[in-house]
A and B are shown apart, each in its own frame.
Chain A
Amino acid sequence: MALDTGAREIHDRNYPSTLESVDLAEAEILKAAERTGFNEDDQHRIGMAVRECLVNAVVHGNRYNRRKQVHVNVSISGARLTIRITDQGEGFEMQEVPDPLHDTNLLRHSGRGLFLMGAFMDDMKVRKVEPAGTEVTLVKEIGPHE
């Protein structure tokens, strides 16, 4: 599929901090991924990563606070889909997140979201934003098979 070589914003929207927003934003981003030309398996991986990220933003970041929003920006550059999801929470330190694959953590109820985002995407970056919040950047590239 032919793609533009320059970065092109294809989705930019704020969502309230609710689980309904997670479903809505996931569906909208998946439509964008399908239009971009990702195959079904990669759409599934993108959907998984995006859902984990959105849940973190709503539940752990904004703590369901309806006065806080989750910002989602999706852009395409060449064969690269970039998704930025930003909350308005207190933030966290990546190095303090326990490794969910460590033997002592395997049977923990939670703590796998960030790991799954990294596993399903080609690149993931987490940074704090001012005055408060966390921005997660998820990147997926269309492979030569698509």
Chain B
Amino acid sequence: MSTRQVGDVTVVDVSGRITLGEGSSTLRDSLRDLTAKGNKKILLNLSDVSYIDSSGIGELVSGFTSVANQGGTLKLLGLTKRVKDLLQITKLYTVFDVHEEEAHAVRSFA
């Protein structure tokens, strides 16, 4: 997991599996650090995430609400078909602002 800055948007590139244990705790810690540092516009790039379990979904939801509670916005980028399907059957796809292209996603924060 790595972060980079595109204008005033912080892009978090996530890869691998987000499952109970190291994967979900790494995401939780990363989002907690970013919000603590005052980052208000966070774009989670999930295009290299191969697998998310219910614990990983829980971390996405918690990240979404905690960033919002700090006055910020968390959006999602580049969902694979399986991750998209997972968010759809859990009725979370419409909760998140999901984008397919990074440039479009970055502009949407303006």
Asked if A19 contacts B58 (CB within 8 A), the reply is no
B95 at the interface (CB under 8 A from A): yes
Residues A35-87 near B (CB distance < 8 A): 44, 48, 51-52, 55, 59
**A48–B57 alpha-carbon span in the complex (Å):** 13
Minimum CB–CB distance for A16 against chain B, Å:
15
Please give me the residue from chain A that is nearest to B91 by CB atom. Answer: A101
B58 contacts across to A, CB distance below 8 A: 108-110, 112
**A113–B57 alpha-carbon span in the complex (Å):** 10
**A109–B61 alpha-carbon span in the complex (Å):** 6
Please give me the residue from chain B that is nearest to A103 by CB atom. Answer: B91
**A75–B58 alpha-carbon span in the complex (Å):** 32
B82 contacts across to A, CB distance below 8 A: 44
Complex interface bits, B35-62 against A, C-beta within 8 A gives 1, otherwise 0 = 0000000000000000001110111011
A7 at the interface (CB under 8 A from B): no
Taking a contact as CB atoms closer than 8 A, the residue among A19, A106, A113 that contacts B54 in the complex is A113
B89 at the interface (CB under 8 A from A): yes
**A58–B41 alpha-carbon span in the complex (Å):** 37
B6 at the interface (CB under 8 A from A): no
Minimum CB–CB distance for A50 against chain B, Å:
11
Minimum CB–CB distance for A53 against chain B, Å:
11
Q: Is the interface of A mostly helix, strand, loop or mixed?
A: helix
Taking a contact as CB atoms closer than 8 A, the residue among A59, A106, A112, A115 that contacts B95 in the complex is A106
Asked if B57 contacts A112 (CB within 8 A), the reply is yes
Complex interface bits, B88-99 against A, C-beta within 8 A gives 1, otherwise 0 = 011110010000
B55 contacts across to A, CB distance below 8 A: 55, 110
**A101–B91 alpha-carbon span in the complex (Å):** 6
A116 contacts across to B, CB distance below 8 A: 54, 86, 89-90
Question: Counting chain A CB atoms within 10 Å of each CB, which of B54, B57, B59 scores highest?
Answer: B54
**A44–B86 alpha-carbon span in the complex (Å):** 12
**A107–B60 alpha-carbon span in the complex (Å):** 10
**A112–B59 alpha-carbon span in the complex (Å):** 12
Residues A1-40 near B (CB distance < 8 A): 19, 22
Given known pairs A19-B20, A109-B62, the reply for A51 and B95 (CB within 8 Å) is no
A59 contacts across to B, CB distance below 8 A: 20
A133 at the interface (CB under 8 A from B): no
Asked if A55 contacts B65 (CB within 8 A), the reply is no
